[in-house]
Chain A
Amino acid sequence: MDISRRNLIKTSLAASAAAAAGITLGCKKKETAQAPAEQAPASTAQAVSTQEVDKWVKGVCRMCGTGCSIYVGVKNGKMVAIKGNVDSKTNTRGFLCIKGMNIWKVAYHPDRLTTPLIRKNGKLEPASWDEALTLIETKFKEFHKKYGYDSVAYYGSGQCTTEESYTFNKIWKGGFGSNMMDGNPRLCMASAVAGYLSSLGSDEPAGAYEDIEKAKCIFLTGSNTSEAHPILFRRIARYKKENPDVKIIVCEPRKTQTSNIADLWMPSLPGTDLAIFNGMAREIIKNNWHDKEFISKHARFTSGDGSKASSFDEYIKFIDKYTPEYVEKVTGCPAASVKQAAEWFAKSGATMSLWCMGLNQRSNGVWANNLIHNLHVITGNFGKPGADSFSLTGQPNACGGVRETGSLSHLLPGCKPVAVEPWRKHVESYWKVAEHCINPTKAINPKPGFPAVKLFSILGGENEKDKPVKAIIISTTNPAQSLPNLNKFIPNMKNAFTVVIDIFPTRTAQLASVVLPAAFLYEKGGVYGCSERRSFLTQKAVEAPAGTKPDLWIACQIAKRMGLEKYIAWSNEEDIVKMAEMAWNDYIGCTANSEKTLAGATYKRLKESTTGVQWPCPSEDHPGTYKRYVRGMDPIFDNPAKYGLKIPADADMYFYGRPDGKVNVFMRDAEPKASEKISKEYPFLMTTGRVIEQWHTGTMTMRIPETASAHPNSYIEIHVNDAKKLGLTQGDMVRVESVRGVNILPVKIVNMTLEGVCFIPMHDQKGSRMVNFICSDVVDATSGEPDYKVSAVKITKVSGPEKVDDRYVVTKEELDNPTFS
């Protein structure tokens, strides 16, 4: 072998570097070689130097809702590296977390699906694209005729590009005249949407990430930001380090890494934190810390059920029950902490609240959102730098792709309800529905379709009379792992005609009738819009592997075959980048007269921009909007009539989404009435969540060696005192059981959770470790979002420690066998 001198030096120095790094300290010599763990091909294991890359292509991270912008390094037509974008306004200075820096590697994993599959006699057999699409066309047409247009559903994702979600939405709502389509943001963001709509009158935050560095107090609740949004946490941590006087309050059941930067950690038993929010409001008013002027100008007090207007006095009476002592009794949060938090929240000068699934995934998720908005109204923490009530989103394009394009069962583009007639008529006319719709109604259905959990419960086979939805096309998401109470929904997906679009074998693909192999984000490009209303274009960096197709192409083929060729004008285009541009232009035209306008964010501008664009952005010369509802900052004030709104000429601040321009302050009761309660038989409260190295159902992150090794399997965290009571030691295997299902998991004994509360991460694909078999499928009555954060379980020891760090993923071979072992 020819070893160059330079390589020789490198190798020997690497060995001495190990010594220098102290790695070998006290170690005995390795005796047996280990079988290498399964990993991506060797080519993805090497870091590539900047000099070796042919080009860097601009884009966004494929993972969480932070929306970090990146450059993908391409060499010889292949992705070889990722670096952060230093111009970014999201991941300032270009920081990335371990998921973002490794995301490109999944594209080259040997499990990539590269041919369509059709189930024949129980087995998924390779098929041509034409064969697969013909089958889909035949079935869809047959079901439309036999069972009506609502019998064929679409289930999308906050990871599809905006162009893709918009296209599917346009096909279903205007092309088929059916609202039987929803998306996985229903499982994570729906309560935030309903919270913003009911309180402020318009979805998505008023402010932006840059409020972080302007805030004097940051209230993090229902969010383990350090792991779920690592780069935002880095921003907050850096800001706190440089500004120690800024107060950080963390309110959540577990004392996670997030609370390491906190001045105050407020524990709360899962499901109870609404009492804390009402208690803080009571303390604020009792101490006269409320902002009287802001309240008189911008607050509308409203009864708990939202039916009638009320008054400030009534509100004071309503919250009087939530004394700090009462709150302590209900939540476990010390009374003194409630008082302290109230003072900092009200008196710091500018408070920013950030929350995520901890509030949204709850039986009273919308109300939890409302109560945070309440706190901001009574303390005047809106509209000024550093003050905002800011919902963090979990997926990279839940906001841009699904909320803004209205790709949920009750919405239309611009995030306006289908039931709102003037907007529905506008969309009908913009889309020319009367001309193109294949449904004889020739109109968009004014009645909403079904939200995810309901949709999957009425999905079934042709012989199931009580299940009217017979077919579903599922894009870029994995409901057979991510829905709650899986035992209830798995048979439905198996019995229906289920089409799955994905890049890997998944639990859902195991149930599919047809599997379509998709292109990866960097193999197609498209727009993602993150938590802070910012849309950013990912440019196509490399060619997709032979046999795979972008979802947008797939949507267009279905449109064509269903007779919507003229309706989806871009379905006749060959080039995927051109198709995406046409879809984007159609979308921004459709919403140009809504407050979500991105009319100024042309594709040309997005291509050139290294920062993306925040809506409202009405024209190409508009810079995008940092703060909504404030005259001089929000362009809606310049021409409200254009958006069908009225804003008084003398109003400096106006919540124009509400008929009276005022924010609803709701008298929402704190008790989680619908949530599951603990009992003698099921004495532990179980909650779920993320870890930093994994993402969603692990289909990508469990295939990256670095992230898989750091979290190779799920486990159950329980408090040290509970472990003692149960006679458990670290690593013991336990059976975790709810009335719905069972997991067998290793125990992780901790002292950072509350006694009686246990936690299981949500990423593991192994059947016996899939936490969603256990999770409650109770949903929020308004948003339809499931109560993943509160389930009652019992825990019993099964055995001593066992080796379960198998980094399990569903393989191609297992696609034929839909048992979830």
Chain B
Amino acid sequence: MKQSIIFLTLLFTLIFSVSFAQTEAVEHPLPMEGKDCAVCHAPGSTEEIPADPTAYQEWADSMHGLNSVKCVTCHGEESTFKADSNINICLSCHPTETTVINRKTESADYGLVCSACHKVHSFTVTKEAKPVHTK
């Protein structure tokens, strides 16, 4: 019973967050002036306006951080900037999971956002007994 409640909640969250899946390029809030993301985003930034060091630290401590899957991989660079990444970016490296998700939701023309379960930016692997992308 408990499990099915969790599953339903999860499913609801996923469907609710569906529109994020097709995130398009938006403007980066500030001109980047060619600076590396870490200049403003990393903890200890001495820039005038430091931005969200917590997210950066969570990323740095994650497997993405360890493996140098840096900001630009998911967020694009300034001209292709996406505030939120989408499932089709994740697809390149996580083909099994994303393909299964897409197959499950194809009929509704919905994609899903991985971060609904795998919290940005730590990307912890969900502890659910039955992750949604199990075949």
Contact = CB atoms under 8 A, between A and B. Distances in A.
Interface residues of B, number: 54
Interface in A477-532: none
Interface string A223-258: 000110010011001100100000000000000010
A49 B76 CA distance: 16
Interface string B26-37: 111111111010
B69 A98 contact: yes
A20 B73 contact: no
A447 B92 CA distance: 48
Interface in A10-39: 10-11, 13-15, 17-30, 32, 34, 36-37, 39
Contacts of A32: 31
Nearest to B27: A30
B9 interface: no
A11 to B, nearest CB: 7
Contacts of B54: 22
Interface in A24-76: 24-30, 32, 34, 36-37, 39, 45-51, 71
Contacts of A86: 95-96
Contacts of B79: 36-37, 39, 45, 705
Contacts of A51: 102, 106
Interface residues of A, number: 69
B20 A49 contact: no
A779 B36 CA distance: 36
Contacts of B89: 47
Contacts of B98: 50
Given A14-B23, A32-B31, A94 B77 contact: no
A9 B19 contact: yes
A613 B102 CA distance: 31
A30 B83 CA distance: 15
Interface of B is mostly: loop
B41 to A, nearest CB: 9
A102 to B, nearest CB: 8
A82 interface: yes
B55 A50 contact: no
A13 B26 CA distance: 11
A446 B111 CA distance: 62
B35 to A, nearest CB: 8
Nearest to A36: B79
Contacts of A95: 93-94
B114 interface: no
A676 B10 CA distance: 62
A48 B88 CA distance: 6
B63 A237 contact: yes
Given A50-B88, A94-B95, A98-B73, A17 B78 contact: no
A34 B31 contact: yes
Given A47-B88, A83-B92, A710 B36 contact: yes
A803 B32 CA distance: 13
A103 to B, nearest CB: 10
Which has the most chain B C-beta neighbours within 10 Å: A23, A101, A693, A803?
A23
Contacts of A47: 86, 88-89, 91
A50 B99 contact: yes
B67 to A, nearest CB: 5
Contact of A37 (B73, B77, B82): B77
Contacts of A24: 29
B22 interface: yes
Nearest to A231: B67
A93 interface: yes
B124 to A, nearest CB: 13
B102 A101 contact: no
A101 B93 contact: yes
Given A23-B52, A26-B51, A96-B92, A49 B73 contact: no
A692 interface: yes
Which has the most chain A C-beta neighbours within 10 Å: B24, B51, B80, B111?
B80
Given A34-B31, A94-B93, 13 more contacts: A9-B19, A10-B22, A10-B23, A14-B83, A14-B84, A30-B27, A50-B98, A94-B95, A95-B93, A97-B69, A230-B68, A237-B63, A705-B77
Nearest 7 Cβ contacts at the A-B interface: A18-B83, A709-B77, A101-B92, A805-B34, A47-B88, A17-B84, A22-B52
27 contacts: A11-B24, A14-B23, A14-B83, A17-B23, A17-B84, A27-B49, A30-B29, A30-B30, A34-B78, A39-B80, A45-B25, A49-B102, A71-B95, A81-B92, A97-B69, A98-B69, A98-B72, A101-B73, A226-B67, A230-B68, A238-B63, A257-B68, A261-B66, A705-B79, A705-B80, A706-B80, A710-B77
Interface of A: 9-11, 13-15, 17-30, 32, 34, 36-37, 39, 45-51, 71, 81-86, 93-98, 100-101, 226-227, 230, 233-234, 237-238, 241, 257, 260-261, 692-693, 705-710, 712, 803, 805
